[in-house]
Amino acid sequence: MRAALWFLFLFAVAVAMSLFLGVNQSVVTLYWSPYRVDLSLNLVLLLWALSFAALYATLRGTSILVDLPQKAQRWRSLQRERAIHQGLLQAMFQLSSGRFLRAQKSAQKALLLMKDLSTAKTDHVLAQNYLFELKCMLHLIHAEAAHCLRDQSTRDVHFDQALALSRSLQTLARLEPMETSQLLATRWHLSDKDPEAALSSLAQLSGGASRRTVALRLRLKAARLSEHNEFALETAKLLAKHGAFTPGVAQSLLKSLIAACLSQAKDETQLQKIWARLEPKERQIQGIGLLAAERLMDLKGPASLAKEWLSHDRDQLFKSPEMLPLDMRARLVLFSERVMLGMDPQSQDLTRLDLAVRAHPQILELQYLYAQTCLHHALWGKAQQLFEACLLRNVPQALKKNACIALAKLMEQKEDHPRALELWKQAALL
């Protein structure tokens, strides 16, 4: 359609020119004393058009000739820039494929080309910050390859040069080179088992960069290596909120870090502060209440507070004990017995255990705890009956040993010494 319109336009121009020039009888007279020259208007118009074309061609050719050295210099700069980009890509691929020596050579070659490009006269297309970014990346690749080769001196030299370029770019609102340099330095410090230096590198990041997932992962690793467990716990909470872990992994990680924080508590006051900083859902993680209560009892804390912290795990033991692992049930029962013996008898405990045993008669650990509770409430006959039932069934070894000891003491109270001696021997064998 466009071609047809162009043809119509050309035909219209040709017709207009033929109508104008064909019947044009005008004459242009030029006087140059003592001469007179008569020219056709058509010829004058043609000469004027040809002179204009010749003048334009002359000026255009002169401009091209004058700009030729600049274009040649621009072409050489472009070829150098392409060679630098090729060297950068080669270095990145070689670094990723584990060819560290080749990566160093490619990066060094690109840096030499960069030096030639920097000394040459370049136009505004190659801006100074753009050259700085390329040079900074090449130095970082060279440093990373040197780190993989355990050449720390070379690594530090190139990292210092990259860091200086990053600071220059930071003044131009280019923050990515500085952030990349600090994150790489953090990984190197962690690889060198220097968590304090890694945390120092992370502290130099901006507020937004320090909250990114990659920075939080590095901070978590550094905090765990330096045994700053409370700091690691806060970092793990942020990562869990960002969805960096699956729910199962997040819960397992939080549990291990909370356990480490609890084990680091030196006194009851510090332990209570750690417990108060935990969120309700964190306190309800399986086993956390037991760990906190055990640490509290080890620090000579009150048994009533330990029982309060243990309430969630005890509720799970009474309501759905089959959801707890076997070793967890035995450990929870033994500690519940320890807490119970540190307090006065409470009738509600006896009632709850009676209901739990009736609801879950197959859970032998509940029967053992019920027996100890009956013994603590001076219900000797009921306790003896339950202890003997435990001995006849396959209960965990630690519970069976305690049951033998408790039953032996009951037999001694009844002056049934042969039976007591037999139970003491059985307990010793266990």
pLDDT: which is higher, 51 or 12 = 51
> What is the residue whose two structure tokens read 């002056």?
415
Asked if residues 75 and 64 have their Cβ atoms less than 8 Å apart, the reply is: no
Quote helix, strand, coil % in the chain, to nearest 5. 80, 5, 20
- Whether a cis peptide bond, with omega within 30° of 0, leads into 34 is yes
Please state, in angstroms and rounded to a whole number, the distance separating the CA atoms of residues 355 and 362. 13
Lowest mean pLDDT of 90-99, 103-112, 348-357, name the range.
348-357
Beta strands in 3-161 (DSSP E): 27-32, 35-40
Among 385, 350, 388, residue whose Cα is nearest residue 369: 350
Q: Kindly state the average pLDDT of the residues 211-239.
A: 88
| pLDDT confidence band for 127 (50 / 70 / 90) | low
Beta bridge partners of 377: none
Q: Where are the beta strands (DSSP E) in 33-178?
A: 35-40
The model's pLDDT over 303-350, given as tens digits with 9 standing for 90+, comes to 888 888 888 888 888 888 888 888 888 888 888 888 887 777 777 877
Question: Which pLDDT score is estimated for 124?
Answer: 45
- Does residue 142 or residue 14 have the better pLDDT? 142
φ, ψ of residue 271 to 5 degrees: the values are -65, -40
List pLDDT tens digits, range 177-212.
Answer: 888 889 999 999 998 888 898 988 888 888 788 888
Q: Are 329 and 323 in contact, with CB atoms under 8 Å apart?
A: no
For residue 294, the model assigns a pLDDT of: 85
**The pLDDT value given to residue 91:** 92
Phi and psi (nearest 5°) for 30? -115, 130
In this structure, what DSSP letter does residue 310 have? T
Q: How far apart are CA 42 and CA 46, in angstroms?
A: 6
Residues in the chain: 430
Would you say residue 226 has pLDDT above 90? no
In the chain, where the domains are located = 74-172
Q: What integer pLDDT is reported at residue 143 of this predicted model?
A: 93
Residue 121 clears pLDDT 70, i.e. is over it: no
Per-residue pLDDT for 101 more than 90?
yes
Beta-carbon contacts of 125 under 8 Å, excluding residues fewer than 6 positions away, are: 74
Of residues 419 and 59, the one with the higher pLDDT is 59
Q: What is the mean pLDDT of residues 67-79?
A: 84
CA-closest candidate to residue 218, choices 241, 235, 204: 235
User: What is the reported pLDDT for 306?
Assistant: 84
Compute CA 428 distance to the chain's CA centroid, rounded to the nearest angstrom.
53
Task: Kindly state the average pLDDT of the residues 89-97.
Answer: 92
Q: Where are the alpha helices (DSSP H) in 360-416?
A: 364-376, 380-392, 397-413
DSSP state of 321: G
Residue 125: pLDDT over 50: no
Distance of alpha carbon 40 from alpha carbon 60, whole angstroms: 30
Q: What percent of the chain has pLDDT over 70?
A: 94
pLDDT digits (tens, 9 = 90+) for 355-390: 887 888 888 788 888 878 887 777 777 777 777 777
Q: What is the number of other CB atoms lying within 10 angstroms of the CB of residue 184? A: 19
* CA–CA dist 237, 250 (Å, integer): 8
Terminal-to-terminal C-alpha distance of the chain: 102
Measured at the CA of 187, the angle between CA 260 and CA 232, to 5 degrees, comes to: 20
pLDDT(1) > 80 = no
Helix axes 41-96, 128-148, angle to 10 degrees: 20
The pLDDT, as a whole number, for residue 157 is 92
Tokens of 67: 């700009």
Rounded Cα distance, 218 and 208, in Å: 15
Q: Checking DSSP bridges between strand 35-40 and strand 27-32, what pairing results, if any?
A: antiparallel
21: confidence class by pLDDT, cuts 50, 70, 90? low
Mean pLDDT, all residues of the chain = 83
